Amino acid sequence: MLDEVDPAAFIADKAYDADPLIKKIEERQITPVIPSRKNRRDPRKISFQLYKNRNIIERFFARLKQFRGIATRYDKLKSTVLAAVQLVSAIIGIN
């Protein structure tokens, strides 16, 4: 899935702190914003200002999952799911 997007930064939590993933991200010249696990020998420096933005995205997905059709993904076509997500996103944005 990472091959289909080209972001400036990859923001994730500590669960994604794996050397192969970080190496792949850095090869594509994407900034990894992943805090190091506490058992890592040499912790990486990250931008906590960028990491704080992760909370906004997490809250959006929590609101998105409240809509049953999207949470269970009844629609099988990619275009139909995308249309439903866009519709629900507009509803969330209005409220």
Tell whether the model's pLDDT for residue 1 goes beyond 70: no
d(CA 24, CA 11): 14
d(CA 74, CA 95): 24
Q: Record the pTM.
A: 0.65
Encoded tokens for 8: 């400036």
pLDDT grade for 81, boundaries at 50, 70 and 90: confident
